[in-house]
Amino acid sequence: MKVRVTGVVVEDGRILLLDQDTGAGRSWSLPGGTVEEGEPLADALVREMREETGLEVEIGRLLYVCDHLPPDGAHVLHITFESRRIGGTLGDIAGNDTRPIRAVTFVRLADLPGLGFSERFAELARAGFPGAGSYMGAKANIGL
C-alpha cells in the first residue's frame, strides 16, 4: 500500500491547485505526494507543498481520509489536511516531480467542477469541510 498526503489551502474563496497530469483524466489536482518510508505525515506534506508550490505551510485539521483502488490492484491511501500559507513564493517549484507541473495557482472554489472535481468536493470545500477528520471511503465517494 502507498500513502499519499495532500493539502487544501483556501484563501479568499480560492483553493490552491496544480495543473499537472493526474492519471485520473483531469489535469488539476491538490498539491501533495507520496509519504517516504519513516517520514511523518506532516513532514511529508510540508515537503511536498514546498517542492510543488514553493509555499511554506503549516498543517491544520485532518480533513478526510479515502482509499484509491485502481483496477491495477495498487492500494493508495489518501490523507488530506487543511494547510495554511506561512511563507515561500508561489510558483517557486523544485521541478523534479514525476509528472511535470505546468502551473500552480489559486482557483475560485466555484470553478472546481469545471476543472474535473466533483460537485460534492466543491460543496465540501465551500462549506469549510464539515465533518473534518472523517473517513470518506473509496476515492470515488468524494469525487477526486
What are the extents of the domains in the chain?
Answer: 2-130
Q: How far apart are CA 76 and CA 73, in angstroms?
A: 10
Is residue 105 within 8 Å of 111, Cβ to Cβ?
Answer: no
**Architecture, CATH, for domain 2-130:** Alpha-Beta Complex (3.90)
pTM for this entry: 0.88
What are the beta bridge partners of residue 68? 76
> For each of the chain's 144 residues, which pLDDT tens digit applies?
899 999 999 999 999 999 987 666 678 999 999 999 999 999 999 999 999 999 999 999 999 998 888 788 788 899 999 999 999 999 888 766 677 889 999 999 999 999 989 899 999 999 999 988 878 777 656 665
Do the strands 55-68 and 134-138 form a parallel or antiparallel pair, or are they unpaired?
A: parallel
Q: Dump pLDDT digits (tens) for 70-100.
A: 788 788 899 999 999 999 999 888 766 677 8
How far is Cα of residue 4 from the mean position of the Cα atoms in its chain?
9
Is residue 118 within 8 Å of 144, Cβ to Cβ?
Answer: yes
